[in-house]
Amino acid sequence: MPKHEEAKKRLKTIEGHIRGIQRMIEEEAYCIDTIAQIHAVQSALNKVSTMILEDHLHTCLITAVQGGDAAERERVLQEIINVFETAAKV
């Protein structure tokens, strides 16, 4: 799955940025610079989340919607609702 490979690549990059933030904190870097890097990581994680959600919608959701099992359709839709409700709490 090419999208999963892209997500893994982005997560490795994010991992490096997080290590950089840890170093900034250890070295007592300027607070605003550290916060800016944290925001960059959060944005990058949001992008990965969006990529994975998009893939899910194009695969799992489509399969469930096209299938004949109403309970499965409802389960998959409820999963998506739960993800957005959880994200809204953050």
Q: What is the pLDDT of residue 1?
A: 57
What does the alpha-carbon distance between residue 47 and residue 9 come to, in Å, rounded to a whole number? 12
* CATH, residue 17: 1.20.58.1000
pTM score, two decimals?
Answer: 0.84
- Expressed as residue numbers, the domain containing 31 is 2-89
pLDDT of residue 22: 98
Domains identified in the chain, total number: 1
Helix H, strand E, coil C: the string for the chain is CHHHHHHHHHHHHHHHHHHHHHHHHHCCCCHHHHHHHHHHHHHHHHHHHHHHHHHHHHHHHHHHHHCCCHHHHHHHHHHHHHHHHHHHHC
Per-run averaged pLDDT (10 residues), the chain, 90 residues: 87 98 98 98 96 92 91 92 86
Give the model's pLDDT for residue 89: 83
